[in-house]
Amino acid sequence: MTPPAPLSVTLAELAQRTGAALHGDGSVVIERVGTLEHAADRAITFLANPRYRAQLGSTRAAAVIVTPADAQATPLPRLVTNDPYGTFAAVARILNPRRAADPGVDPAARVHAAAQVAASASVAAYAVIGAGARLGERAEIHAHAVIGDDCEVGDDVVIHAHATLYPRTRVGPRSVIHSGAVLGADGFGMAEVDGRWLRIPQAGRVVLGADCEVGANTTIDRGAIEDTVIEDDVKLDNQIQVGHNVVIGTHTAIAACVGIAGSARIGANCRIGGGAMISGHLRIASGTVISGATTVFGNIDVPGTYTGVFPLMPYRDWQRAAAHVRQLSDLRRRLGALEHAMRLAADGEAEEATR
């Protein structure tokens, strides 16, 4: 792997490449990104949250990225944009280009004779490429990764060390699979017959779209009959479980430790917070936001923000609140009986008044 040359970019060049407006000295040299609090010489930082505006006056950064509303709040050279965080992300990518692997197959790799590997692809030591697998242009397969039989890996895909693609898995161009991820393992399909579990063969595949990212140790099960489908530009964090036959719509982002049971259908442009649990065979509307640690038991047909987390409180207060919750059914019954008695009494008084 050939490391990139160290970068020194002028602020004027960053403005040109990101489309931001340049205010101040464009000859300032930028080599790294940093936070408002800790950035130092030759670093660029950003202000996106007004809560941190006070740090703008004390930052030691060489330049900052701000909105038009904050353009006059600092004398530092600056990039002015309506989306400081997005521009910061673009600048970070410019200053930290991905290292391109050297093309070729390491002698210690195992590549089946029936596999098709593009000449520009890279296969590292101890990687295994199965029969009928196809690796696209500039694909990178890192050490100890396993690409099963008849898998299809698109152009510019990166599969990191120890990731596993079970047979027939498809990965779209420019997607990234991080270490320890498993795509295409059996879904949890069982039938109970005569008091024992009978495994149902999982005949589907995992189909991952273009520009996706699958975090470390995330698992995506293949479909039972039809495919498990992850559409384009979906971002999955670490340690997520995606069950069989799940469909996740384009541009959805899911944080770590989420569990998605089989056959759930999640729409496009959704945001799902860490630790959320989604039951099987549900539909979640496009544009939905689910807060962290929320459990979803039913369909979400109207997009919005949904939260199901009991508020944090001291433990003793939580114990009392939990005890009250356990009593709600009894309280409801007693309240109903009281209301019924009051209605009877009111009816009796009304009848007496008419005599």
Long-range CB contacts (< 8 A, 24+ apart) of 198-206? 200/224, 202/244, 204/228, 204/244, 204/245, 205/168, 205/169, 205/170, 206/166, 206/169, 206/170, 206/230
Do residues 301 and 319 lie in contact, with contact meaning Cβ atoms separated by under 8 Å?
A: no
Catalytic residue numbers read: 244
**Site of tokens 């590292």:** 124
Q: Give the pLDDT means over successive 10-residue stretches in the chain (355 positions).
A: 67 98 97 95 95 94 97 96 97 91 97 98 98 98 98 98 98 98 96 96 97 98 97 98 98 98 98 98 98 97 95 93 92 93 83 72
Query: What pLDDT does 5 receive?
Result: 54
